[in-house]
Structure 1
Amino acid sequence: MTTQEAGVRTATFADLFGSITDSMARAIQGKREVIELAVLCLVSEGHLLVEDVPGVGKTTLAKALAASIDSSFGRIQFTPDLLPSDVVGVTVWNRSTDNFEFRPGAVFASIVLGDELNRASPKTQSALLEAMAENQVTVDNVTYPLGPPFMVIATQNPIEHEGTYPLPESQLDRFLLRASIGYPSRADELAVLDTHGDVEPLARLTPVATAADVQGLIAAARTVHVSEAVRGYLVDLADATRHHPHLALGMSPRATLSLLRASRARAASQGRGYVVPDDVKALTEPALAHRLMVTPEAQLQGIGAADALAEVVATVPVPTAG
């Protein structure tokens, strides 16, 4: 592909990316950055974890993305009594045909909302692991493919809230990005009161892209060029987290790959056919903070994973030419 062809392709990418984010912004006021992270996650073939207090729009974010894309949507309300079979499906005996039949669970959709994921037991949470890692589920030794596109948007309440289970590190590492919506500004909250006054904004959203369009965005993001200097920067960041005195668990190779994929998507969303170090730096916290574990000593000092990560980004030399 020539440089001119790459420029045209990324420009088209940026236009369609902007259409999806504009559509979602009609339902979620004042949270453009979070909306862009959600769409970046989709075109990076990843999954999004949204952690915040109840009532700030976590579920609305997932519904707005699904409503802006002409594809299937599934919702799983995680509760303490939810079973793994409720998530992935179950094989049942059909007396009329004298055969076993597979009845798919809610995970069989393009956009899957896992609402309040950390209210379910660890056994039920683990039912999502294969689906998120390999885009497939296995039931009774039979493997069923998912998507494409396929994306899980999981919401969770802060761990100190009653009735929550902490997500294990293995599951946190499956999420490409983590976002926090936060409370709106005064002006944005006034806009919320206006837009939600008579008609629900989600009901007014219509698809601005098809599943095939999303597949095209995914394919385009894969072609974005990453120079040797930027690749080296990614590896240097990973190595620094693994040796940082405040971190007991640094970046895994999956985390490095995830940051690479997200950086490619961000570059394409801005109309570029190549990644620059600023793409990597802008995504370090949403892509990495939830994967890192601080030492007990750091916890006693009030140092969090985001704090340690900021130190890493500040100390690792940035390549001057990407």
Structure 2
Amino acid sequence: MSASRMCEGRVVVVTGAGRGLGRAHALAFAAEGARVVVNDLGVGLDGRPGAGSPADRVAAEIRAVGGEAVAHAGDIATTEGAASLIGTALETYGRLDTLVGNAGFLRDRMLVNLDEDDWDDVLRVHLKGHFLPLKHAAAHWRAEAKAGRTPEARIVATSSGAGLLGSVGQGNYSAAKAGIVGLTLVAAAELARYGVQVNAIAPAARTRMTERTFAAAMAAPGGGFDAMAPENVSPLVVWLGSAASAGVTGRVFETEGGRITVMEGWRPGPTADKGARWHVAELDQVVRELLAGSRTPAPVYGATTL
């Protein structure tokens, strides 16, 4: 167990916590003294039904080392499942302090081969699966604030580099993860009055979803630093989910190995203002001059240079 106990007394919900990043987050919060609701539907990498209950296993793992945890196996992309998730925290531990959105799966296809169901299912689990638990948690925290018990509440959402830059073959996933950033910014603005801080991370780590991408990035020989271990991401998530992060909200952090980067989103670049409507014939020169004075965008993941 950690010596700092940064989250002593806090109750933390982590979605998709049965494996990979979610499991690492749940264990890290427990090590810092939090009581954890471990949510996982137990599906396979593609979101289809799987065997066993990973949520039960992680909750048992936390209890085995003296922590407190309860499993929740509901579908948090449904109103009933999301309400049940927040209700489990309140009924079991009497409070809720932090919500970590992490659940997701992949259905990778090039856009011309991407089925409508694969689009809908990925948007559903990632984006709707962030929105619905957030909505129910926020309703609870708003009620607490209106009753004069303003919380030190935290929400940590999980985006991706694919959501910030795009990723070839992952149009559905990239769109969902970009949507999570937009949701984070709106939630941070709307919920601040109720004592709720909302931030997002864009992690890079070796999980079921990325094991092919990071197959070559194995642990360093001789037990050295494994830069792609999911446990590397969890310290930032725990800090953002703790009271220690006071004043930090509406931010996106990219994190990989030992590196943390504050991501800076869309900002106005070079501008031309005629003060009247442009003629189409004028724009070739104007737009090209604007682009020449702008920063070159980072390449989309997986894009080839022509």
TM-score for both structures, normalised by structure 2: 0.34
Q: Name the structure with the higher helix share.
A: 1
Q: Which has the higher contact order (CA 8 A, sep 6+)?
A: 1
TM-score for both structures, normalised by structure 1: 0.33
